[in-house]
Amino acid sequence: MNPPESAATTPDASAGRPVIELAGVTKTYPGGVFALRSVDLVVDYGELLAIVGPSGSGKSTMLNLIGTLDRASRGTVRIDGHDVASLPDRQLSALRARRIGFVFQQFHLAPGRDALGNVADGLLYTGVGRPERERSAEAALVRVGLGDRLTHRPHQLSGGERQRVAIARAVAGDPPLLLADEPTGNLDSVSGAGVVALLRELNEAGTTILVITHDREVAGGLPRQVPMRDGRVI
C-alpha cells in the first residue's frame, strides 16, 4: 500500500479493511515493565466503542500505539490499512494529521485564541491555506453546536463547550478515526452526557470513535466495550 502522503492515498471504508488492527501487540519499558501483553484488537469502520479499565490497565498505552504516538515493542499495529512499524516518522505524522483526530481530558485550548482560531490551528499541518482552515473550522463548530460561539475565548465558555471546541478541532479535517481519552473526565454529569451524545451523533455520521475511559457507566452506554486489566484485554 502507498504511504499516507495525502488522504487520497488511503483506502476508505469500502475497501473492506478494519480501521484498527492490533495483533500480538506488546509494549515494554526499561526494567522489564510490561504496559501491554500480547493484545489483539480489531475495530471496523463505523464502530463506536470504549476501551475501559482502571488506572494502570494499559488504556493510555493502547491509545498511544493506536494514535501512532508510540511504537510497539512486539506485534503488529495497522491503522487505516498502514503497518505503523514500516512507516518513517514523516509518514507517521502525515497519517496522524489526516486520518486521526484526538480529544483529551484536558482541553488543550490556547487561552489567547477564540474558538474559531483554536479549531483552525488544529489544521496547520494538513497543508491547506488559512481561508480554507477557517472555513473548515467554522463548519466543525457549527457541527458540534457552537456556531454562535466562534469568537468566544476558552474562559468565556463552559467546560462542556470547551470540550465541544476540542472535538470540533479533532473532526475539522474529517478524519475517519477519532480517539477520545477520558473525554468526560473533567465535566459534570450533565455536560458529560452532552459530550457522549455528541460523540454518538458524529459516529452516526460515519466517524469511527474509540473512547478511552475508566468510567464504566460511560463505557456501558456505548455499543461495544473492550475491558482491560494488567495490560491485557480480558
Tell me the pLDDT tens digit for each residue of 3-34.
Answer: 454 433 344 444 578 999 999 999 999 988 99
Average pLDDT, integer, range 156-173: 95
Rounded Cα distance, 231 and 141, in Å? 36
Locate cell 491555506: which residue?
Answer: 129
* Of 123-137, 153-167, 220-234, minimum mean pLDDT range: 123-137
167 neighbors 197 (Cβ within 8 angstroms)? no
Asked, for residue 1, whether it belongs to a domain, the answer is no
Asked, for residue 35, whether it belongs to a domain, the answer is yes
Query: Which pLDDT value is given to residue 15?
Result: 55
Rounded Cα distance, 32 and 130, in Å? 47
Locate cell 477557517: which residue?
Answer: 134
Q: Fill in the amino acid letter for 81.
A: G
Asked, for residue 96, whether it belongs to a domain, the answer is yes
Transcribe 42-99 into DSSP letters.
EE-TT-EEEEE--TTSSHHHHHHHHTTSS--SEEEEEETTEEGGGS-HHHHHHHHHHH
Asked, for residue 2, whether it belongs to a domain, the answer is no
pTM above threshold 0.85? yes
Query: Which pLDDT value is given to residue 152?
Result: 98
Where residue 14 sits, what CATH number does that domain have? 3.40.50.300
51 neighbors 36 (Cβ within 8 angstroms)? no
Query: Which pLDDT value is given to residue 127?
Result: 78
Asked, for residue 139, whether it belongs to a domain, the answer is yes
Asked, for residue 60, whether it belongs to a domain, the answer is yes
Tell me the pLDDT tens digit for each residue of 199-227.
Answer: 999 999 999 999 999 999 999 999 999 99
Locate cell 481530558: which residue?
Answer: 105
Across the chain, what does the average pLDDT equal?
A: 91
Asked, for residue 172, whether it belongs to a domain, the answer is yes
Strands of the sheet containing 100-103, edge to edge, are: 100-103, 177-181, 208-213, 48-52, 224-229, 232-233
> What does DSSP say about strands 74-79 and 20-29: parallel, antiparallel, or unpaired?
antiparallel
Q: Fill in the amino acid letter for 51.
A: I
Rounded Cα distance, 201 and 206, in Å? 9
Asked, for residue 31, whether it belongs to a domain, the answer is yes
Three-state DSSP class for residue 108: coil
Tell me the residue range of the domain where 76 lies.
Answer: 7-231
* Total number of domains constituting the chain: 1
pLDDT for 1 beyond 70: no
